[in-house]
Amino acid sequence: MYGNDKANGLREDEMARQLDFYFDCSSPWTYLAFHAIQPLAHQAAAEIVWKPILVGGVFNAVNQTVYESRAKPNPLKQAYMQKDMQDWARLYGLAIRFPPTVFPVNSVKCMRGAFVALDEDKLVPYAAAAFEAYWGDDRDLSREEVLADIAKKAGIERQHFFAGIETDSCKARLRSNTDELIARGGFGSPTIFVGNDMFFGNDRMPLVKAALEAVAA
């Protein structure tokens, strides 16, 4: 078992006390949910099990309509999405903007790096730095110098980080989490599970909270 990678086969009561958080740092809604889920879990005395995925792999397998909507966006929906994103960011006290130069971004190395961070118990600062680099500073997550800065901010030694993301282990763990999400019925990022109950998107936090309260009751 690696870091916060949990084995399958947990009892239902054990699963209900944890939140499985499947995520890719290339999603703005995941950036928002990443910040919202932590205080929610703390208040509910629930453990977050971080599950890095490659969302492009999910789209390719089960949600190819994403590419169609990107190719032919609805201008009304696009305008509302931008407003909605900023509304949520203000609510959470975050600064967020849609990257003007690099979208979508190749996040595969960044998400492999999440496993290096998991193994050093530095996932939260690592993911926070990655989200802020892309959604705050418009920095390309596929570039080595950007990844080096993210690793540095998380307190991960550069050589160890870059060696780690090229290992078969990190590659296999990213594929495994991605396949696991698809098998559980997921189709994007962020996807959250309370036990076997699935919730998709940042705006489902009230429902996640209610599910945890129901478990406690």
**Residue 103 tokens, joined:** 């979208």
How far apart (Å, rounded) are the C-alpha atoms in residues 39 and 209? 11
Q: In the chain, what are the domains?
A: 12-216 (3.40.30.10)
Say which residue the tokens 């901010």 belong to. 153
How far apart (Å, rounded) are the C-alpha atoms in residues 143 and 29? 22
Instruction: From 171, 148, 145, select the one nearest 159 (Cα to Cα).
Output: 148
Each of the 217 residues of the chain gets a pLDDT tens digit; together they read 333 554 445 555 555 589 999 999 999 999 999 999 999 999 999 999 999 999 999 999 999 999 989 999 999 999 999 999 999 999 999 999 888 889 999 999 999 999 999 999 999 999 999 999 999 999 999 999 999 999 999 999 999 999 999 999 999 999 999 999 999 999 999 999 999 999 999 999 999 999 999 988 7
Q: What is the pTM of this model?
A: 0.92
**Residues in Cβ contact with 117 at an 8 Å cutoff, skipping those fewer than 6 apart:** 123, 125, 126, 127, 154, 156
DSSP H or E run through 20: strand 18-23
